[in-house]
């Protein structure tokens, strides 16, 4: 056997999968939710830095996927926690750069 060498990309891009639509994207384009260590209080928290300690789950930076993830308890299931904090959706939305949905704008506080 000539030992085929798999080509290694010069720039490694970590790929993660959205817990809702199962689409894979570069990690930095997704939003991360982390299950915090018990000593930090446990529970789920948005992790905009992508580097917080604990197990992470990822979701597209889209309002659709965020809302589905919350509604369908994807983060809870993926990270095996009983419930997500009520402000998790807001925390994720705050980092969502997708085009805003008009239906949400009425309740959003404008700066």
> Can you give the binding site for Zn ion, defined by CB under 5 A?
18, 20-21, 60, 65
Cβ closest to Zn ion, residue 34 vs residue 60: 60
**In a 3-state reduction of DSSP, which class is residue 49?**
coil
User: Least distance in Å: CB of 40 to Zn ion?
Assistant: 27
Residue 91: Cβ-neighbour burial (10 angstroms; 0-12, 13-18, 19+): middle
Structure letter (DSSP) for residue 78: H
Cβ closest to Zn ion, residue 24 vs residue 53: 24
Cβ closest to Zn ion, residue 53 vs residue 101: 101
């Amino acid at each position: 056997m000539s030992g085929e060498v798999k080509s290694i990309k010069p720039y490694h891009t970590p790929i993660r999968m959205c817990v809702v639509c199962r689409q894979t994207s570069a990690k930095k384009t997704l939003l991360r939710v982390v299950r915090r260590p018990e000593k930090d209080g446990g529970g789920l928290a948005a992790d905009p830095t992508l580097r917080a300690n604990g197990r992470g789950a990822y979701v597209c930076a889209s309002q659709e996927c965020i809302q589905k993830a919350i509604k369908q308890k994807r983060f809870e299931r993926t990270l095996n926690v009983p419930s997500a904090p009520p402000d998790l959706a807001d925390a994720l939305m705050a980092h969502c750069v997708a085009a805003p949905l008009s239906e949400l704008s009425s309740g959003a506080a404008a700066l």
